[in-house]
Amino acid sequence: MRNRRARSIDDGAAVASFDVDGASPVEKRRRPHRNDRSQISTPLKVLRMLQVCFVVGLIGAMLGRHYELWGVVSDEYDPGSAAGDAEADSAANDICTGYLGQYLDPYSAPVEKKKVQTIHLIGERHQGTKWITAILEQCFDNSVSVVPAFGDRHKHWFMLNETAEHGVIVAVFRNIYSWVHSMNYVRPHHAPAHFNIEWREFVTRPWTLRGHANFTTTFPGSASLRDTTPCWQRFLPNEIEPCLESERLVMVNYSHFDSPEVQYVPELSAYELRNDGSGEPYGSIVEMRADKIRNFWSLRDLVHSFYPVQYEYMMHNGLETLVAELESALHLRRSHRCLLDTPRPPKVKHYPTGYVDWMRQHVDWDAEALIGYHRDDVNSAC
C-alpha cells in the first residue's frame, strides 16, 4: 500500500513538472503565487541568467577599454606590425625581425673650436636625407646654414678631405639590407645601367656603364687618366664616369622589371670609380658602399663635430634627440618653426629568396660596424 502511494506521488510530481500550462484544476491551485520568486520556472531562470551575463560582460568590456586607453592594460607597441606592408602577410610562417636602429654617439673633432656656421648633411640615396635636411632647416636656419653637401660635393658622393673648422657634419646611414633593396626596386638614382634588373644581377653587376651597348659614353684612356682638370664637382676623369657634364644625360627605360610598361625618362648618370685614383670601377654596389662609409668616417677629424645617425633610429624615434644635441653642443636655439615630425616606422621589407644569405656573405661587415650595423641586423619581413 505504501509502495503504491509513493509511486502515485512520484507520477504526479513528474506530471506537474512536465505539464505546467496544461495542468489539471487541482494542480493549478497548487501553483505558486507570482510573488514567490523561488518557484520561477526553469526557462525564465535561464533567460534572466543570460541577461545578467550579458550586462556583466558589457560592463567588463567597457572597463577594460577604459583602462587600456589610460595605459593600464596595453600591449607593447610594435612598429613592424604598424608598417602597413601587405607583403609581410605572405611571410606569416617565417621568423620575422624588425631592425629599429640604434643611437650613435657624436664625435667632437680635435680641431680648434670656432663658432659653427654650417651644418653639412651627407648620405647616400634613399636614406631620408631630404626629410632630415628640411627639418634641420626649419629648426636652425635662423642661426646657421644647413646644406646638403660638403665642400663642392653633393651629399651623395665621395667627399674631399678638406678641413672645415666652422662646419658640423650630420652623416646619415641606412641598414644595407634595405638600402640595396631600395636602390634595386625603387630607383637606382644616377646608375642607369642598373635599372630594371633582377636582384642577383643588380648586386653582382660592376658599378659602371662600360660594356653596355645602350650607352655611347666614352671613358678615359691611359692618357686622360693623368688629366688633373676637374670636370664636374671637382671630380677628375679617373674618379667618376661619365666625367663631362655633356655626357651625363642618358635616356633610361624606367619601367620596373615587374611591369610590362615601358617609359623612357632622362637620367643624369654618375658612376663613382674606385676611391684610390686607379680609374677602375667597383665590382658591385656593396663594394662602393664600403668605401663610401670609410670616406664619410674619415671626415670626423676635419670638422667641428661629426654626428653619425642611423636612418631607422630617426624613423622610429624622430629627430628630437638630434635637434637637442645640436642645440646643446653648438649653442644654438631652435626656431619657433621647428615642428618635428611624428616618428614614422618604415615599411617592413619582404626580401626575395636568397637575397639575405647573399648579403650576409658578401658585405664588408668591418665597414658596416663603423656605423653600428652587423650581419644579423636584418630589417626584413622574413
329 found inside a domain: yes
Sign of the CA dihedral 279, 284, 287, 293?
positive
The cell numbers describing 330, all together, are 653648438
Domain of residue 317 covers: 107-189+284-371
The Cα 381–Cα 234 span in angstroms is 41
The cell numbers describing 119, all together, are 651644418
Is beta strand 118-123 parallel, antiparallel or unpaired with respect to 164-173? Answer: parallel
For 353-365, the pLDDT digits (tens) are 999 999 999 999 9
344 found inside a domain: yes
Q: Name the residue among 288, 318, 305, 314 with its Cα closest to residue 372.
A: 314
pLDDT of residue 93: 30
177 found inside a domain: yes
47 found inside a domain: no
327 found inside a domain: yes
Q: Round the average pLDDT of the chain to a whole number and report it.
A: 77
For 176-212, the pLDDT digits (tens) are 999 999 999 988 999 999 988 999 999 999 999 887 7
The cell numbers describing 120, all together, are 653639412
183 found inside a domain: yes
78 found inside a domain: no
Cα-to-chain-centroid distance, residue 256: 22
Instruction: Indicate if the pLDDT at residue 215 is higher than 70.
Output: no
33 found inside a domain: no
**Helices marked H in the chain — which ranges?**
2-18, 25-29, 42-69, 129-140, 176-185, 199-204, 285-297, 311-317, 320-330, 355-362, 365-370
The Cα 220–Cα 237 span in angstroms is 6
The Cα 234–Cα 237 span in angstroms is 10
Q: Total domain count for the chain?
A: 1
pTM: 0.72
Instruction: Indicate if the pLDDT at residue 72 is higher than 90.
Output: no
pLDDT of residue 168: 96
pLDDT of residue 91: 31
